[in-house]
Amino acid sequence: MDTHHCETGFDPELITRYDGRGPRYTSYPTALQFTPDVDADTYSENARNSNSAGLPLSLYVHVPFCEALCYYCGCNKIVTRNAARVARYIDALCREIEMQGGLFDRSRVVEQIHFGGGTPTYLNAEQLDRVFGQLRDSFSLDTSENRQFSIEVDPRTVDRERLEELTALGFNRLSLGIQDFDPEVQQAINRIQPVGSVEQLVADARELGFDSISFDLIYGLPRQDPERFARTLDATLAIRPERLSVYNYAHLPDRFRSQRLISEADLPSAAGKLEILGATIQRLTDAGYVYIGMDHFALPDDDLAEAQRDGSLQRNFQGYSTHWHCELIGLGVSSIGSIGNVYAQNAVKTQDYEELIESGTLPVRKGMVVDYDDQIRSAIIQSLMCYDKLSFSQIERAFDIRFREYFANELANLDVMEADGLLERGEGSIRILPRGRYLLRNIAMVFDRYLGNTPVERFSKAI
Ligand code: SF4
Cβ atoms of 436 and 13 within 8 Å: the answer is no
User: Are 75 and 19 in a shared domain?
Assistant: no
Residue range 193-215: mean pLDDT, rounded: 95
Whether the per-residue pLDDT at 2 is higher than 70: the answer is no
Look up the CATH number of the domain holding residue 430: 1.10.10.920
Same domain? For 417 and 386 the reply is: yes
Dist. CA 64 → ligand 1 center (Å): 9
pLDDT in tens, 241-272: 999 999 989 899 998 999 999 999 999 998 88
Q: Could you tell me if residue 440 is inside a domain?
A: yes
Residue 299's domain spans which residues?
Answer: 29-331
Is any atom of ligand 1 closer than 6 Å to the C-beta of 69? yes
Residue 13 to residues 3, 273, 422, Cα–Cα distance (Å): 15, 13, 13
CATH assignment at residue 144: 3.80.30.20
> What is the total count of domains within the chain?
2
Distance of CA 103 to the CA centre of its chain: 26
The preferred substitution site among 119, 153, 216 for testing ligand 1, maximizing ligand atoms within 8 Å of CB, is: 119
Atom 1 in ligand 1: residue holding the nearest Cα: 73
* 403 vs 307, more confident: 403
Domain termination residue (choose one: 298, 315, 331):
331
C-beta of residue 62 within 8 angstroms of C-beta of residue 118:
yes
Answer yes or no: do 427 and 293 share one domain: no
Single out the residue in 279, 305, 331 at which a domain terminates.
Answer: 331
pLDDT in tens, 62-112: 999 999 999 999 888 899 999 999 999 999 999 999 999 999 999 999 999
Integer Cα distance of 235 and 224 in angstroms: 15
Q: d(Cα 423, Cα 405) in Å, to the nearest integer?
A: 20
**Alpha-carbon 243 to chain mean position:** 13
User: What is the distance, to the nearest Å, from the Cα of residue 384 to the centroid of all Cα atoms in its chain?
Assistant: 17
CA-nearest of 135, 123, 119, 129 to 86 is 123
Identify which of 313, 316, 294 has the alpha carbon closest to the alpha carbon of residue 305.
313
SS3 414: coil
Residue 391: inside a domain, yes or no?
yes
**114 shares its domain with 248:** yes
Final residue of a structural domain among 306, 331, 356: 331
Cα end-to-end span (Å), the chain: 20
- Determine which residue's CA is closest to atom 6 belonging to ligand 1: 73
Cα–Cα distances in angstroms (integers) from residue 201 to residues 51, 162, 406, in the given order: 41, 10, 52
Contact 448, 440 (CB under 8 A): no
Mutation probe of ligand 1 site: the residue of 73, 217, 257 with most atoms within 8 A of C-beta? 73
Q: Are residues 42 and 162 in the same domain?
A: yes
C-alpha of residue 421 to centroid of ligand 1, in Å? 38
Q: Work out the mean pLDDT of the chain and round it to a whole number.
A: 91
Decide if 51 is inside a domain.
yes
Mode of pairing for the β-strands spanning 109-117 and 140-141: parallel
